[in-house]
Amino acid sequence: MIDNTLKEILTINNNTKTSNLSQPHSKLLIRNLGLKVFVHLIGLLPFIELLIRWQTNQLTVNPIQFIEQSLGLAAINLIIVGLAITPFITITGWKQPGRHRRTIGLYAALYVILHFLTFIGLDFGFDLNKLARQLFEKPFIIVGSLAALIVFALAVTSFKYWKRKLGKKWKILHRTIYFAALLAVIHYAWALKGSVSNLSGDVIRPIIYGFFVVFLLLMRITTIKNWVIAKRIKLLAGR
């Protein structure tokens, strides 16, 4: 009788401990799931917006140009979001977003491909001769194409197979995303037919994008990164 009672008490205590241990784990799983959903929502939002505009006849008087520009902007925005993940981790110390960097990058590559296909398909009807003539008249197409090739190459080599195969070269290759981001911003500013020197035309947004890319690049410099981490640790210790 006493032995049975003791066994019941021990079983209840063990169940209580297991329950207490599982609560933080459950919260972590919920938080991770929420972050994953949020990341996919960010990636799909531009596409959803285009679908809504298409269904409600809000693609402006030049729908092809609007779709093309929207897809290009979505690509640039997602490239910058992807670049911002590491500085965000440096500033906050929250490492979980780093697991979703590749997802953001793949969404960016998807919009780059859709932007390019819209350009050569809907705009030029896949007429390569006409496109070749435009390359000389509009050099910003060359800049944009180079940025697109880099992003596409990074998307293809983002899988574990290429990471193992390329070894140390993989990191060097994937750092070219900063070059691609700058090329994309130049392509965007040039396509708007404005002037950065005297701030004429619609160049404010490309300039802001450019500052963001440079800032995020600076945040990757080891000295600056270590200084930010030290300041964060000191700030948290003082609480």
Q: How many domains does the chain have?
A: 1
Ranges 19-33, 45-59, 124-138, 209-223: which has the least confidence: 19-33
Output 170 or 198, whichever has higher pLDDT.
170
Neighbouring C-alpha atoms within 13 Å toward the C-beta of 129: 0
Output 4 or 184, whichever has higher pLDDT.
184
CA dihedral 92, 94, 99, 104 (to 10 degrees): -40
CA 137 to CA 144: how far, in whole Å? 14
Residue 161 has pLDDT above 90, yes or no: yes
Residue 151 has a CB neighbour count (10 Å cut-off) of: 27
Domain-embedded: residue 28: no
What pLDDT, on a 0 to 100 scale, did the predictor assign at position 158? 94
Domain-embedded: residue 112: yes
Domain-embedded: residue 23: no
- Percent helix, strand and coil across the chain, each to the nearest 5: 85, 0, 15
| Mean pLDDT calculated for residue range 136-159 | 92
Domain that holds residue 152: 62-237
140-156 and 177-191 helices, crossing angle to 10°: 150
What pLDDT, on a 0 to 100 scale, did the predictor assign at position 17? 46
Domain-embedded: residue 214: yes
Could you read off the pLDDT of 55-108 as tens digits, one per residue? 998 988 889 889 999 999 999 999 999 999 999 999 999 999 999 999 999 999
Residue 89 has a CB neighbour count (10 Å cut-off) of: 17
What pLDDT, on a 0 to 100 scale, did the predictor assign at position 24? 66
CA 86 to CA 227: how far, in whole Å? 15
Does residue 220 contact residue 86 with C-beta atoms inside 8 Å?
yes
Q: What is the pTM of this model?
A: 0.84
Residue 100 has a CB neighbour count (10 Å cut-off) of: 20
Q: How far is CA 55 from the centre of its chain?
A: 27
Query: What would you measure as the largest C-alpha separation in the chain, in angstroms?
Result: 95
Domain-embedded: residue 121: yes
Domain-embedded: residue 119: yes
Q: 8 — phi, psi (to 5°)?
A: -65, -40
Bridge partners, 195 (sequence order): 200
Domain-embedded: residue 44: no
CA 79 to CA 21: how far, in whole Å? 39
What pLDDT, on a 0 to 100 scale, did the predictor assign at position 171? 92
Domain-embedded: residue 46: no
